[in-house]
Amino acid sequence: ATVAPVIIATDKTQLTHFSGNKSAYPVYMTLGNLPRSLRRKPSEHACILIGYLSVDKVDGEGISDRRQRALTHQLFHSSIAMILEPLIQAGKEGIEVMSGDGTVRRVHPILAAYVADYPEQCLVTCAKSGTCPKCQVPEASLG
């Protein structure tokens, strides 16, 4: 059997400031065994959109800010779990894929990397965000 490293990337994106502050939260997937130069070119279609995460705010009426943040984090993690469920199943059972030479092989895709900016890294790893872990930038200066 062959292991196929899968890379997931998310990036909350502001679509417009002019018509109601619309935003999107796409989830992209690519394969780690593709050359980086190929993965980075949109024209090569090496990265595909596999879903969108919710950008809705949890209604905070009657609950504390801490509980509201916890519910928002829970929504994120539940959504990611739903999106990645087929990948988890394929990783356990394997899938049959035809290789370049025409041979059918069993491939086990596994999540190898998750690409995200610092606030999303904190969200994904359930870490408290705040000051930068590498430098002495004040919290107020972080984007």
77-123: pLDDT as tens digits: 999 999 999 999 999 999 999 988 999 999 999 999 999 988 888 88
Rg (CA), the chain: 18
In the sheet that 104-115 helps form, which strands lie side by side, from edge to edge?
48-52, 26-31, 2-10, 104-115, 95-98
DSSP-assigned letters across all residues of 63-110: S-HHHHHHHHHHHHHHHHHHHHHHHHHHHHH-EEEE-TTS-EEEEEEE
Percent of the chain whose pLDDT exceeds 90:
47
Short-list 58, 79, 65, 72, CA closest to 119: 72
Give ∠ CA 139-136-132 in degrees, rounded to 5. Answer: 55
The whole-number pLDDT of residue 90 equals 96
25-78: pLDDT as tens digits: 999 999 999 998 998 888 899 999 999 998 877 787 889 988 888 888 899 999
Give yes or no for residue 131 having a pLDDT over 70: no
CB atoms within 10 A of CB 53: 17
